[in-house]
Amino acid sequence: MKRLVWVMAMVAAGAAGSVAAQQAQQPQPLWEAGVAAFAVSTPAYPGSSDRSARVLPLPFLIYRGEVLRSDQGGIGARLFKSERVEFDVGFSGALPAHSKDVAARAGMRDLNTLVEFGPRVKILLASPTATSRVRFELPLRAVMEIEGGVRRQGTTFEPKLSYELRGADPRWGYDVSVAAVFADRRLNRYFYEVAPVYATATRPAFQADAGLVLTRVGVSATYKFNEDVRLFGFVREESYRGAANADSPLMKRRSGASAGFGFTWTLGRSATLAKSAQ
């Protein structure tokens, strides 16, 4: 769902790993660590007319173990990898959206910190050139709410098709992706249901259903300024047309744009190289 801030943290780590280095199959250190900073602006939740903007510094750690991994793909365990198919289990998450800051949700419960955990299959469909590849991902995630404990809030399924490219200038790397997000009824209720107790004259009661949440097109880029400093950024457009809960009074827009940019500064890396290419 609205995982953007955590995704940016992973993009920060990914910028330090760089798409270009992956596609050139260059040997990579087993681990890298440093600091990153980024600014991001995104809808408060899918379909919100209010926005959330953050500027955050954070540390990053990349670890390229054969099983345990922390990189631009997330944090988790890679359980199987062949030339074209990879299977892993990983985490992602979202920072909260407080109802006092979102007009449509005034008086309702906050949207708290969410953590997602589950399996993902990645399939390499094609390598059109030596510096590009087309990949299809099928992640299935259980969503947990963190607030005075841990509560299950549903499940998401987010198939994604991506095209990754190293530019003519090898300092540049690009990624273009198309994705759709589906959620079960429990998670859609968390975002879009209006219980009778929260109904008002302008916010009628609404019962949410399982199904499509959004479709998304995104573009991201990284630039290797030098061996230790990399810049990164992204823009993406989400469409909520055809969403299962498009009629919810909390669905205020039919589309939403997000953007972010930042940098990473690697402060240390291992002399030991990872055993396999990314």
pTM of structure: 0.86
From CA 4, how far away is CA 10, in angstroms rounded?
A: 10
Q: What is the pLDDT of residues 26-57, one digit of tens each?
A: 678 899 999 999 898 989 999 999 998 888 88
Mean pLDDT throughout 151-180? 93
Residue 13, pLDDT > 60, answer no
Report the alpha-carbon angle 112-113-115, nearest 5.
Answer: 135
Residue 202, pLDDT > 90, answer yes
Q: What is the pLDDT of residues 70-126, one digit of tens each?
A: 665 567 788 888 999 999 998 777 778 889 999 999 999 999 888 899 999 999 999
Nearest CA among 231, 237, 278 for reference residue 255: 237
The least confident of 58-72, 205-219, 221-235 is 58-72
Mean pLDDT throughout 195-217? 97
- Provide the pLDDT confidence category of residue 3 given band limits of 50, 70 and 90: very low
| pLDDT value of position 76 | 75
| pLDDT value of position 95 | 72
- Residue length, the chain? 278
**Cβ density class 178-213: b for 16+ within 10 Å, e for less:** ebbbbbbbebbbbbbbbeeebeeeebeebebbbebb
Report the alpha-carbon angle 92-97-101, nearest 5.
Answer: 160
> Structural domains in the chain?
4-267 (2.40.160.40)
From CA 116, how far away is CA 24, in angstroms rounded?
A: 31
Mean pLDDT throughout 13-29? 53
| pLDDT value of position 27 | 77
From CA 146, how far away is CA 46, in angstroms rounded?
A: 19
Mean pLDDT throughout 55-77? 78
What mean pLDDT, rounded, does the chain reach?
Answer: 87
Nearest CA among 175, 155, 157, 158 for reference residue 166: 175
| pLDDT value of position 119 | 95
